[in-house]
Structure 1
Amino acid sequence: MVLPFVQMKAPLDEDMFLYWRRSEPSKCEPFTTHMINCNKCVCSADGTSYCTRMVCINKDDMLDKSEEGTQTDAYTDQDDSR
C-alpha cells in the first residue's frame, strides 16, 4: 500500500528556514551590503534590503552572566575517591 505524501507548508513569512528577510521598507542603494546588529543585509537590484535572521548576542553580557553564575568550589581530582 502506498500512501501519498502531503507536505503542509507555512506561509513564507513564518518559514523558520527562511534565511533572508525584508529588513526595512525604505529603499537602499542597489548591490550594496550593510550590517544591522550582527546581521548582514544585501540590497537587491530593485532597492529592497534583505537581511539574515540571526540572534545577536552581546559577548560582554554573556561574560557578566557567566561570572555571576560561577561558584568557587574547591573541587580537585583528589576529592574524587572512586
Structure 2
Amino acid sequence: MIRRLFYMALGAYLAVWTMRKLQALRPDHVARRTAGRMAGYAGRLGEFAGDVRHLAASRETELRAAFRLDSVETRPTRYDDVKDGR
C-alpha cells in the first residue's frame, strides 16, 4: 500500500514537472526570455564600449604627453608630397 502511494506521488510529481518544462518551451516564452537576454547583452556591450573609449583616450593622452604632441596637426608626416596616396 505504501509502495503504491509512493509511486503514485512520484508519478504525479513527474507529470507536473514535465508539464511545466513543456510550457516553458512555448514560443512566446522562449522569445520573451531571448529578448530579455539580448537587452542585457546590449547593455553590457555599451558599457564595454564606453570603457574602451575611456581607456583609449587616457592612453592617447599619455602618449601625447610622452612625445610632447599638442594636437594632431603637429605630428610629422613622411609623405607630404604624395597627392593621391600612391
Higher relative contact order (CA 8 A, sep 6+): 1
* Same-fold status (TM-score > 0.5): no
In proportion to residue count, which structure has more helix? Answer: 2
Structure 1 length-normalised TM = 0.29
Structure 2 length-normalised TM = 0.28
In proportion to residue count, which structure has more strand? Answer: 1
